[in-house]
């Protein structure tokens, strides 16, 4: 007998050790693999999955195989260019996957820099010794240490008390820092961070927007640059190149970084240890990831602080009702900054009742007058309109045709391109086409823009105030990398008289010489179906009004009537949200909203999840959800939980069709988190793979922000 006839045992040879590996594939996982040598949790490995070879992460080192031994393949190679990923990082990924109901591999792998998870970086002609070796071998640019330290501003009593409370906290502790706009929350963060760094601690700063990172990084450098050298700071956000992200990530994981600053994804920064976490503008919806792993970076930051026995500070002028409620219940310690840090007083907020007014291109005469007066005093004006483009829709004056997207159930928005050509853009699927010269329906050539967006407003203000220097800040004018910063720099340098902007301008930016804020079209959000709309509108308007008069020069308080002003145009001035804004009364507004939520059994007094289905035809999506609902209801009945968890009817989304896909959703609600999660864990595996059968796809969102 020759060897030829012997079965050749290669991949499937049973071996003594087994591990579980998380892989970025849309299946539950993790997957069993065999190995000769022990492999630690957190080690990156190359394995074959199906017909593909890929990089994965070992998540259980001494596993009992769950499938037959003969089908288990061996690990091909353990990547030893890095020590295993930190335990705390693996634990965070595990928790996120479990809580947000997502396969572990789909959480872990995308959280790694591309170079550490792509096979091609380890194999092939150009891979050399791999990305980490290349990174170690680069020539380090010498970075000048900062020797001059900015003198910290003198803190007022409330600021000092807040800093003391945070600094004195040892071990886990959560603080909600509620400070009115301009109250100097950033100074509290910086002073607390300085104290934590001085005793050898490490700090994670989260900010809601990429645009805020340069400003924050600058503040860190000026205040803490003498304690933390440039290489001790890592910045992480989605706008980095692959190389920049790898560099920041590797410096962090190797322990050389004392401060990590970034947007929501920075909550996954692989810091071996954390002592203080700051979440600035904690209420901001940008902390919620809206695709893939639909996580809340704020909520994960709290979990991370708990695990690391760190102190966490959530800061906001308009805290989320969830956080406000936790503070009121005593789970978070409430710290208040009730006054502005400088001598500046809060701006005067006036409501312009537009019901009986003839508007001039959307502007009330009293607003136009106020702009004129503000400009004549040499101060800046901000006009806030949260709608980009030239006009929200184009229409035919003869037959009533309106521009709509071919692929989505929405209007297409009229835009003016750089070459002044009119184009129609869909803000949902991104498709674009030239605006027709004549009505596609009746052939009439009198097509008109209807309503106005920031571009049209800019055009009109330019005609009205030809001497004024205008700038527009929205997603269109800031598309190129760095262009937002350039525009903001111009505003700060006083090279702009009138700034027109969407909510991009409302967050965190400190405009020194802003004397007037005008708010247009805020009513659009008043009557939304979403129960969080009033909360969000209040936060947005409070932020934008808070840009005004932050410094004495924009106030000139000794001059009567010269206080910075905010004018809000509305057809519903009696609405509580506007009345609360006028009185700068967050606490009263929040208390009333919380009472409503309690009476109607909505979050934070209930816990929700949202199952969304997508299909080419709506009935298919709704049908899937209805049968999923039946399945859930039977499970609840069998487990005696029908009273505890409610499943609502499946309904089409407000914008039902996007990119030719129809969408429907099913809301699941429970008074306790535990019951909700118990259902999700039992029920979701019954629904089949998320990619579904055929063209149907589904996804689950835990703690959804938009309904
Ligand atoms: Zn027509
Ligand atoms: Zn579209």
Last residue of a domain, one of 303, 318, 337: 337
- CA of 391 relative to ligand 2 center, distance in Å: 16
CB 31, CB 72: distance < 8 Å: no
Residues 353 and 322 in one domain: no
- CA of 505 relative to ligand 2 center, distance in Å: 26
- CA of 658 relative to ligand 2 center, distance in Å: 6
- CA of 396 relative to ligand 1 center, distance in Å: 5
Last residue of a domain, one of 413, 436, 451: 451
- CA of 611 relative to ligand 1 center, distance in Å: 40
Q: Would you say residue 546 has pLDDT above 50?
A: yes
Residues 198 and 270 in one domain: yes
- Cα(9)–Cα(431) distance, integer angstroms: 54
Backbone angles phi, psi at 472, to 5 degrees: -120, 130
Q: Which ligand is nearest to the CA of 430?
A: 2
Query: What is the pLDDT, as a whole number, of residue 554?
Result: 53
Residues 570 and 543 in one domain: yes
Q: Which ligand is nearest to the CA of 659?
A: 2
- CA of 608 relative to ligand 2 center, distance in Å: 29
Q: Is residue 144 part of a domain?
A: no
Find, among 620, 645, 619, the residue nearest to 632 by Cα: 645
- CA of 433 relative to ligand 1 center, distance in Å: 18
Q: Which ligand is nearest to the CA of 446?
A: 1
Angle between helices 586-600 and 533-545 (to 10 degrees): 170
Residues 385 and 426 in one domain: no
Query: What is the pLDDT, as a whole number, of residue 2?
Result: 37
- CA of 415 relative to ligand 2 center, distance in Å: 14
Residue 425: strand pairing partners: 413, 432
Q: ∠ at Cα 542 (215, 217), nearest 5°?
A: 10
Residues near ion ligand 2 (Cβ under 5 Å): 405, 407-408, 426, 428-429
- CA of 81 relative to ligand 2 center, distance in Å: 45
- CA of 430 relative to ligand 2 center, distance in Å: 6
- CA of 426 relative to ligand 2 center, distance in Å: 5
- CA of 43 relative to ligand 2 center, distance in Å: 43
CB 698, CB 614: distance < 8 Å: yes
Residues 185 and 260 in one domain: yes
Q: Which ligand is nearest to the CA of 441?
A: 1
Read off the pLDDT band of 7 (50, 70, 90).
very low
Q: Is residue 343 part of a domain?
A: no
Domain range for 224 is: 157-337
Q: Which two tokens stand for residue 347?
A: 């701006």
Q: Which ligand is nearest to the CA of 444?
A: 1
Find, among 489, 498, 493, the residue nearest to 470 by Cα: 498
Find, among 597, 609, 593, the residue nearest to 646 by Cα: 609
Q: Is residue 602 part of a domain?
A: no
Q: Which ligand is nearest to the CA of 438?
A: 1
Q: Is residue 47 part of a domain?
A: yes
Give, in order, the Cα–Cα distances in Å from 537 to each of 177, 283, 503, 527, 528.
20, 12, 11, 11, 10
CATH of the domain at 123: 3.40.1440.60
Q: Is residue 707 part of a domain?
A: no
Query: What is the pLDDT, as a whole number, of residue 482?
Result: 83
CATH of the domain at 331: 3.40.50.300
Read off the pLDDT band of 1 (50, 70, 90).
very low
Query: pLDDT by residue (tens digit) across 120-162?
Result: 999 877 777 889 988 888 886 666 667 677 788 899 999 999 9
Read off the pLDDT band of 606 (50, 70, 90).
very high
- Cα(388)–Cα(456) distance, integer angstroms: 9
Percent of the chain residues past pLDDT 90, beyond the cut: 76
Q: Where would I find the beta strands (DSSP E) of 637-696?
A: 645-647, 651-658, 661-670
State the CB neighbour count (10 A cutoff) for residue 185. 26
Q: Is residue 143 part of a domain?
A: no
Find, among 299, 441, 469, 449, the residue nearest to 381 by Cα: 469
- Cα(95)–Cα(104) distance, integer angstroms: 9
Residues 417 and 476 in one domain: no
Q: Which 3 state secondary structure label does DSSP give 254? A: coil
| Total tally of structural domains belonging to the chain | 5
Q: Which ligand is nearest to the CA of 399?
A: 1
Q: Would you say residue 583 has pLDDT above 60?
A: yes
- CA of 435 relative to ligand 1 center, distance in Å: 14
- CA of 447 relative to ligand 1 center, distance in Å: 8
Residues 666 and 693 in one domain: yes
- CA of 432 relative to ligand 2 center, distance in Å: 8
Q: Which two tokens stand for residue 49?
A: 């999955």
Q: Which ligand is nearest to the CA of 658?
A: 2
Give, in order, the Cα–Cα distances in Å from 448 to each of 397, 399, 435, 472.
7, 12, 11, 23
Mean pLDDT of 643-659: 95
Query: What is the pLDDT, as a whole number, of residue 229?
Result: 87
- CA of 396 relative to ligand 2 center, distance in Å: 20
- CA of 454 relative to ligand 2 center, distance in Å: 20
Q: Is residue 146 part of a domain?
A: no
- CA of 695 relative to ligand 2 center, distance in Å: 19
- CA of 671 relative to ligand 2 center, distance in Å: 37
Residues 383 and 395 in one domain: no
Q: Would you say residue 557 has pLDDT above 50?
A: no
Q: Which ligand is nearest to the CA of 397?
A: 1
Q: Which ligand is nearest to the CA of 402?
A: 1
Q: Which ligand is nearest to the CA of 445?
A: 1
- Cα(472)–Cα(416) distance, integer angstroms: 13
Q: Which two tokens stand for residue 540?
A: 């947005």
pTM (two decimals): 0.91
Q: Would you say residue 282 has pLDDT above 50?
A: yes
Pairing, β 565-570 against β 348-353: parallel
Residues 469 and 534 in one domain: yes
DSSP per-residue codes, 265-287: GGGG---S--SEEEEETTT-GGG
Q: Is residue 559 part of a domain?
A: yes
Pairing, β 276-280 against β 311-316: parallel
Query: pLDDT by residue (tens digit) across 365-419?
Result: 999 999 999 999 999 999 999 999 999 999 999 999 999 999 999 999 999 987 8
More confident site: 596 or 15: 596
Residues 493 and 521 in one domain: yes
Q: Would you say residue 12 has pLDDT above 60?
A: no
Q: Which ligand is nearest to the CA of 407?
A: 2
- CA of 445 relative to ligand 1 center, distance in Å: 8
Residues 622 and 493 in one domain: no
Q: Which ligand is nearest to the CA of 442?
A: 1
- Cα(238)–Cα(245) distance, integer angstroms: 9
Lowest mean pLDDT among 232-246, 520-534, 605-619: 520-534
Residues 459 and 446 in one domain: no
- CA of 404 relative to ligand 2 center, distance in Å: 8
- CA of 403 relative to ligand 1 center, distance in Å: 11
Q: Which ligand is nearest to the CA of 439?
A: 1
Find, among 239, 248, 187, 281, the residue nearest to 540 by Cα: 281
Q: Encode 88-121: b = buried (16+ Cβ within 10 Å), e = exposed.
A: bbbebbeebbebbbbbbbbbbbebbbebbbbeeb
Q: Where would I find the beta strands (DSSP E) of 61-139?
A: 73-74, 77-79
- CA of 389 relative to ligand 2 center, distance in Å: 15
> For all residues of the chain together, what is the average pLDDT?
91
CB 130, CB 165: distance < 8 Å: no
Lowest mean pLDDT among 57-71, 172-186, 568-582, 598-612: 57-71
């Amino acid at each position: 007998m020759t060897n030829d006839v012997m079965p050749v045992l290669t991949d499937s040879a049973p071996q003594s050790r087994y591990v579980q590996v998380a892989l970025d594939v849309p299946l539950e996982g993790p997957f069993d693999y065999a190995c000769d040598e022990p492999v630690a949790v957190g080690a990156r490995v190359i394995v074959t999955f199906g017909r593909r070879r890929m990089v994965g992460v070992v998540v259980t080192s001494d596993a009992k195989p769950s499938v037959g031994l003969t089908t288990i393949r061996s690990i091909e190679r353990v990547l030893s260019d890095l020590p295993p990923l930190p335990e705390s990082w693996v634990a965070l990924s595990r928790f996120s996957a479990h809580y947000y109901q997502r396969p572990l591999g789909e959480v872990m792998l995308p959280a790694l820099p591309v170079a550490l998870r792509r096979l091609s970086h380890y194999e092939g002609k150009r891979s050399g010794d791999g990305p980490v070796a290349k990174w170690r071998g680069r020539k380090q640019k010498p970075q000048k240490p900062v020797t001059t330290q900015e003198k910290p501003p003198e803190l007022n009593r409330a600021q000092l008390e807040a800093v003391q409370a945070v600094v004195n906290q040892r071990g886990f502790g959560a603080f909600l820092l509620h400070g009115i706009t301009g109250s100097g929350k950033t100074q509290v963060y910086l002073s607390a961070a300085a104290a934590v760094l001085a005793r050898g601690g490490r700090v994670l700063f989260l900010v809601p927007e990429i645009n805020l990172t340069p400003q924050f990084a600058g503040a860190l450098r000026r205040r803490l640059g003498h304690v933390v050298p440039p290489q001790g700071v890592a910045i992480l956000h989605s706008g980095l190149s692959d190389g920049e992200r790898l560099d920041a990530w590797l410096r962090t994981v190797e322990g050389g970084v004392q401060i990590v600053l970034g947007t929501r994804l920075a909550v996954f920064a692989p810091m071996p240890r954390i002592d203080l976490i700051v979440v600035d503008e904690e209420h901001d919806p940008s902390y919620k990831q809206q695709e893939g792993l639909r996580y809340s970076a704020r909520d994960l930051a709290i979990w991370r602080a708990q695990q690391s026995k760190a102190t966490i500070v959530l800061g906001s002028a308009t805290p989320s009702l969830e956080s406000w409620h936790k503070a009121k219940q005593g789970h978070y310690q409430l710290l208040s900054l009730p006054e502005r840090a400088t001598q500046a007083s809060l701006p005067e907020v006036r409501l312009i009742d537009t019901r009986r007014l003839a508007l001039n291109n959307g502007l009330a005469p009293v607003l136009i007058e106020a702009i004129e007066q503000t400009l004549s005093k040499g101060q800046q004006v901000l006009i806030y309109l949260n709608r980009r483009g030239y006009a929200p829709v184009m229409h035919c004056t003869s037959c009533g045709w309106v521009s709509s997207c071919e692929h989505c159930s929405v209007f297409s928005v009229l835009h003016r391109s750089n070459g002044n050509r009119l184009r129609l853009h869909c803000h949902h699927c991104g498709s674009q086409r030239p605006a027709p010269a004549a009505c596609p329906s009746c052939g009439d050539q009198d097509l008109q823009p209807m309503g106005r967006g920031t571009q049209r407003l800019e055009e009109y203000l330019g005609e009205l105030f030809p001497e004024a220097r205008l700038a527009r800040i929205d997603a269109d004018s800031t598309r190129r990398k760095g262009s937002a910063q350039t525009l903001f720099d111009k505003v700060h340098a006083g090279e702009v008289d009138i700034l027109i902007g969407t909510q991009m301008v409302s967050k965190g930016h400190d405009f020194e010489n802003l004397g007037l804020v005008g708010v247009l079209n805020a009513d659009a959000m008043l009557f939304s179906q979403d129960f969080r709309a009033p909360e969000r509108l209040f936060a947005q308007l409070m932020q934008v009004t808070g840009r005004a008069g932050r410094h004495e020069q924009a106030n000139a308080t000794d001059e009567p009537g010269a206080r910075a002003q905010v004018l809000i145009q509305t057809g519903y001035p009696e609405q509580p949200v506007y009345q609360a804004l006028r009185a700068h009364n967050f606490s009263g507004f929040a208390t009333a909203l919380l009472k409503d939520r309690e009476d109607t059994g909505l979050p934070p007094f209930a816990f929700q999840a949202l199952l969304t289905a997508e299909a080419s035809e709506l009935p298919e999506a709704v049908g899937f959800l209805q049968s999923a609902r039946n399945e859930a209801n039977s499970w609840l009945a069998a487990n005696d939980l029908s009273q505890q968890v409610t499943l609502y009817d499946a309904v089409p989304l407000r914008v039902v069709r996007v990119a030719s896909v129809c969408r429907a959703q099913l809301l699941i609600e429970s008074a306790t988190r535990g019951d909700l999660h118990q259902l999700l864990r039992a029920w979701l595996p019954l629904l089949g793979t998320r990619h579904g059968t055929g063209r149907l796809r589904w996804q689950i969102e835990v703690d959804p922000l938009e309904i």
